[in-house]
A and B are shown apart, each in its own frame.
Chain A
Amino acid sequence: MKELIKKLVEISSPSGREDAIREAITEEVRDYVDELRVDALGNLICMKKGKSGKKLLLDAHMDEIGVVVTHIDDKGFLRIDMLGGVSPYMLLGSRIIFESGAYGIVSTEGESAREAGEIMKNLDFDHIFVDIGASSREEAEKLAPIGTFGTYDSKFRDLGEKLVSKSMDDRIACAILVQTIKELKEPADDVYFVFAVQEEVGIVGASVAAFDIMPDMAIAVDVTAGPDTPKSFKRMGFKLGAGPTIKIKDRGSVSSSRVVSRLKEVADIRSIPVQYEVLIFGGTDARGYQVTGKGIAAGTVSVPTRYVHSPNEIVDYNDVLNTVRLLKALAEEGV
């Protein structure tokens, strides 16, 4: 599955500009699904038919966090703003790849040592700029005009048991869903696979994708933190390598108790290692599904990931494989 993951994570598709990733996913799954459509917002919705008459919805968001050019100065330097939760500290020294093909390097202001120090202590987007190698406004405008979107420029690397790349959030889940689509032969219920847009800027796609479907259960597949590094948050107890997590709650939603118990049940039936997760920040597409129409029983399955929202996110490959097994199991056993 590593080739599939590499292919998906390296695509640069920030929130609102998901065409490239949508095409890549469509190409992967076209021959394995019974129905496929793109809705008004750009969500990619596929379906594999089952027999029970019930509906299961599995979701992953296609977008990744990114930046957008907001200003160009006389010397050809750019100002940017964030799309989703981008930390300016993570951008320092990073490369950005823009949809126009230009590359940019991020740095900070500071007209004196004291000022530079102050700025570093409270870094925000007002005090960083992007250098794309242009020497004038005109040149920059040709390379990356205002309104150009960009993402981290970072390559996939296979470290053996661990994999590292940008946008494991949430391409790892996209890869997991693609793999599930390919491996799933006999779903019990109709299984809808939603590749949603604009999760990072406000759970936009997932708020409406299910309106016409109204499944019996909706499960978002996303990344969660990896609090198993030195002196990391003592308040969170899950870790990499112990299996996908069944989320109890985060700041976005409290998972439906039905979803939580069904997932655990299915995991036990098929002997798949799982952990429970309480995330003390963050949210997922589950929140969007929970409040769609009359309400849907919704929850989240997460892949523990270190350094989320940095250019280098790390997952455990076994966790990824077990997530595929878990979702397949749920689709085969039924909601």
Chain B
Amino acid sequence: MIELSNAFGPVGYEDRVHEVIKAELSPYVDEIYRDEIGNLIAVKKGSSRRVGVFTHIDEVSLVISAIDERGFARFESLGGVDPKILISQKVRIVCRDGKERKGVIGMLAPHLQKPGSKGDVPSFDELFIDVSINQDFDKIDIGDLAVVDFAAFEMGEKVSGKALDDRACAAISIETAKLLSRYREHPTVYFIFTTREEVGAMGARAAAEALEFDLGLAMDVTHHSKEDGIEMGNGPVLTVGGPNIHKGYFKKLDDYARKNGFSVQYDYGSGHTGTDADVVQLAGNGTPTLLLSLPQLFMHTPVEVVQVCDILNSARLLSGFFCSLEEVEAV
């Protein structure tokens, strides 16, 4: 998961993450390929029942939109980034010429600030990346991509790093594929590592249309919040049947979890869920959809936190659940 977190994969440019996933996943699947729009798709062949598991691997990132002669670059965000967490960060910029360069999103020391501005955080229009430290900063161009330079690390039973939204769930997909190998009978499962979820789920939409599933399951992160009854360490979060979530399949998943002693938590979705599940449900003639979430702290910051046991338990739950479907009629 640390390797996945550290991989460079801004929205629309996830190739390096593909490499990490391929290396880990190839021995456990029958086929693995990249589609037209940029999703990475891995297939584990099984019965005639078709299940699609969607996790997105694009990370919120920055793209250079202007650069001046002194080496200060302006930027736009890809996906929703809070300007507050960008201040005083080091960034990695991967440039068109293939070279990686460094930058700092600088913050003025107090003595030089305008009086009365301490209460305000600079907006995207006022922030800049100091790339002047690179001797060849003139090679940096509009369109070059940047991510915060943060190395993921273990914190007790947890991991903190960037892009755990949603690569922590990609890790669940990988673990699920490994566990399925132990079962004799399982559905044909497509593990789809989608692109562009952060800007409108175009990747998932395309894959769901192209492949047509009996069941689509999306996995994404959700906010750890004690008041809402969702905490890290207490297992995967199941979104209950509602507009976006298929009631029949939800009941099966919930029953399976309870019968087999899994600790799960619950969430609700009163319309669309803001994840790949939104578009999966609308694909083709409609696809029954489920959403499983991983509790996470500090979403969309470089220091997102997840608990490792939640990932492993989610994989155990999913692999068991999928196989249990083989024993029943279609819902």
Contacts and interface: CB of A to CB of B under 8 A. Distances in A.
Question: Do any CB atoms of chain A lie under 8 A from CB atoms of chain B in the complex?
Answer: yes
Interface of A: 227, 233-238, 246, 248-249, 253-257, 260, 275-278, 280, 290-291, 293-297
Given A236-B65, A290-B202, A291-B202, A255 B12 contact: yes
A24 B229 CA distance: 63
Contacts of B36: 294-297
B201 to A, nearest CB: 9
Contacts of A296: 36-37
B125 A291 contact: no
A168 B196 CA distance: 31
B65 A237 contact: yes
Contact of A236 (B13, B37, B66): B66
Contact of A235 (B125, B143, B200, B205): B125
Contact of A295 (B63, B66, B210): B210
Nearest to A214: B36
B35 A254 contact: no
The secondary structure that dominates the B interface is mixed
Interface residues of B, number: 31
A295 B64 contact: no
B76 A278 contact: yes
Interface of B: 11-13, 35-38, 63-67, 74-76, 78, 124-125, 141-143, 196, 199-200, 202-203, 205-207, 209-210
B37 A237 contact: no
A244 to B, nearest CB: 14
Contacts of B210: 293-295
Contacts of A291: 202, 205-206
A190 B36 CA distance: 19
Contact of A254 (B11, B67, B207): B11
A295 B125 contact: no
A277 B37 CA distance: 20
B205 A277 contact: no
A296 B206 CA distance: 8
A169 to B, nearest CB: 20
B41 to A, nearest CB: 12
Contacts of A280: 65, 76, 124
A295 B142 contact: no
8 contacts: A234-B66, A235-B74, A235-B75, A237-B74, A249-B12, A257-B38, A293-B210, A295-B35
A291 to B, nearest CB: 5
B12 A295 contact: no
A237 to B, nearest CB: 3
A254 B199 contact: yes
A248 B206 contact: no
Contacts of A256: 12, 37-38
A238 to B, nearest CB: 7
Nearest to A217: B36
A182 to B, nearest CB: 31
A278 B202 contact: no
A290 B279 CA distance: 14
A275 B66 CA distance: 11
A276 B76 contact: no
A297 B35 CA distance: 10
Given A236-B65, A257-B13, 16 more contacts: A234-B74, A234-B125, A235-B74, A248-B63, A249-B12, A254-B12, A254-B78, A254-B196, A275-B142, A277-B143, A278-B63, A278-B76, A290-B37, A293-B210, A295-B37, A296-B36
Contacts of A294: 35-36, 206-207, 209-210
Contact of A276 (B124, B141, B207): B141
B56 to A, nearest CB: 13
